[in-house]
Amino acid sequence: MPPLTPDETRNPWTVTSREVRYENPWLRLVHHEVLNPAGRPGIYGVVSFRNLAVGVIPVDAEGCTWLVGQYRFPLDRYSWEIPEGGAPVGTDPADTARRELIEETGLRARNLKEFLRLDLSNSTTDETAFCYLAWDLERGESEPEETEQLKVRRVRLREALDLVLDGTITDSISVAGLLRLKVMADDGALPPGLADAVARGLAR
């Protein structure tokens, strides 16, 4: 694809007023009055996040990973996912990835590599997710936060991927992360030291 032209880098929306309508420790809702790209008046409510979303896929020497189950309040249902957490904007999301991995699964990772960034819901929010692969793992005790009531399950990567493909796992970070891991494994694009374990874990 050719690079963006100067016209494409210019914001075609004009903001005529901006007001914070709601705020809590995790997000802020900002109501904008705007002129849309056609020059007509309108409104735009934007949800701005104080944290980056962080996801991490741990892989052990046998090609197993860990899934975390929890009741997701906004969805009003249960959800199985890769370990995830929030990194305050301005901090290193890799630190959050390591910390969440320990809290939720008890795993300490000697190797961690960012392999995916996502804009989760770009019609309305500025929420960005960073996703990591973690390997060379040491097992310890998990330390869940009290707001969380988590189940943790060690499964082969093949099972995790099948749960994506059969529609059981629907969390966007988990779906994109597990699919990307599969495509990178098939492309020979994984770091040595991880590639063999992933190949073992994905074999049918």
Of 36, 140, 143, 193, the one binding a second copy (CB under 8 A) is 36
Segment lying near a second copy (by CB under 8 A), choices 37-45, 57-65, 90-98, 132-140 = 37-45
Segment lying near a second copy (by CB under 8 A), choices 7-15, 89-97, 98-106, 193-201 = 7-15
How far apart are alpha carbons 124 and 147 in whole angstroms? 26
Minimum distance from residue 61 beta carbon to a second copy (Å): 22
**β-bridge partners, 78:** 71
Of 40, 90, 141, 192, the one binding a second copy (CB under 8 A) is 40
Minimum distance from residue 63 beta carbon to a second copy (Å): 17
Minimum distance from residue 120 beta carbon to a second copy (Å): 4
Site for a second copy in 120-139 (CB under 8 A): 120-129
- What are 86's two structure tokens? 């929030």
Site for a second copy in 138-167 (CB under 8 A): 146-149, 151, 153, 155, 159, 161, 163-165, 167
Determine the distance from the C-alpha atom of residue 184 to the mean position of all C-alpha atoms in its chain, rounded to a whole number: 17
How far apart are alpha carbons 24 and 60 in whole angstroms? 38
Contact flag: residue 188 with a second copy (CB under 8 A): no
Of 6, 17, 73, 90, the one binding a second copy (CB under 8 A) is 73
Of 118, 126, 116, 107, nearest in space to 44 by CA: 126
Minimum distance from residue 138 beta carbon to a second copy (Å): 25
List, as one string, the DSSP characters of 86-151: EEETTS-HHHHHHHHHHHHH-EEEEEEEEEEEEES-TTTB--EEEEEEEEEEEE------TT---E
Written as one letter, the residue type at 175 is V
